[in-house]
């Protein structure tokens, strides 16, 4: 049975089709319209659809989708497999809950630390019993580079360089790269080390737009064997939710 999953982010929307637990198609779009949806629905004939969004107001195409296939808009209460102990669950980002639900679906019965490296870097751990107590939100890689430029009068705007591996910088540009990239690397390693103190058998799951970059940065760390790249973790979590919905 095919399911359609839509994950609406700040800049792009990901559409995906799952056949059971298997991802059979995925594409990212800056803009979606009825014509795009019509082609996807015709090709894969999903029976259910789920939409997750960082935006409060529905997109115009959501109404069209709902008219074609049974559609639900994801909210955190729908993640029934997660025992959510967050003090303000109504403020918890849907993408963060979808990601830890995806970790559960891909690695059932395992404790997992999900590091979502996107606009922000989020750290969310779910234990082997499905308990979630909270996480952390930090500025993302590109946000840090932009902040260095925006809040100073003389420092240039740089972009990430996966080949940079120096401990320090010997000119202004390399000093910025050292501060930004080493800083975020030390931050990630610090979070991982802290979580390992309480969870000895912990999966480290990297997801998000910068996940491949950070996998490169962290490949020589002592935690490398535990690190897994799951670029479609949120989509997998949403698919797990829609499979459980109304079953």
Residue 171 appears among annotated catalytic residues: no
How far is Cα of residue 101 from the mean position of the Cα atoms in its chain? 11
Residues 124, 132: contact at Cβ < 8 Å? yes
Q: What are phi and psi of 168, to 5 degrees?
A: -140, 170
d(C-alpha 195, C-alpha 124), whole Å: 10
d(C-alpha 85, C-alpha 92), whole Å: 11
Q: From the candidates 7, 19, 95, 210, give the one annotated as an active-site residue.
A: 95
d(C-alpha 97, C-alpha 125), whole Å: 10
**Of 64, 106, 39, 43, which Cα lies nearest the Cα of 51?**
64
Residues 227, 8: contact at Cβ < 8 Å? no
In the block, which residue shows the tokens 């004939």? 45
d(C-alpha 219, C-alpha 41), whole Å: 40
Residues 172, 155: contact at Cβ < 8 Å? yes
- Give catalytic residues, as residue numbers: 95
């Amino acid at each position: 049975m095919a399911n359609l999953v839509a994950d609406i982010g700040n800049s792009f929307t990901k559409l995906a089709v799952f056949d059971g637990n298997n991802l059979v198609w995925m594409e990212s779009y800056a803009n979606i319209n009825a014509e795009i949806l019509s082609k996807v629905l015709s090709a894969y004939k999903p029976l259910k659809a789920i939409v997750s969004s960082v935006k409060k107001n529905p997109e115009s195409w959501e109404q069209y989708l709902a008219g074609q296939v049974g559609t639900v808009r994801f909210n955190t209460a729908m993640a029934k497999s997660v025992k959510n102990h967050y003090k303000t669950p109504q403020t918890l980002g849907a993408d963060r809950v979808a990601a830890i639900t995806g970790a559960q679906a891909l690695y059932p019965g395992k404790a997992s630390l999900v590091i979502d490296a996107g606009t922000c870097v989020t750290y969310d751990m779910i234990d082997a019993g499905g308990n979630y107590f909270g996480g952390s939100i930090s500025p993302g890689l590109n946000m840090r580079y932009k902040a260095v430029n925006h809040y100073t009068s003389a420092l240039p705007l740089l972009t990430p360089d996966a080949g940079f591996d120096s401990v320090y910088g010997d000119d202004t540009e390399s000093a910025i790269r050292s501060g930004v990239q080493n800083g975020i690397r030390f931050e990630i390693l610090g979070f991982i080390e802290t979580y390992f103190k309480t969870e000895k058998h912990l999966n480290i799951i990297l997801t998000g737009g910068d996940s491949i970059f950070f996998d490169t940065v962290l490949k020589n760390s002592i935690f490398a064997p535990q690190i897994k790249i799951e670029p479609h973790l949120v989509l997998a979590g949403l698919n797990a939710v829609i499979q459980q919905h109304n079953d």
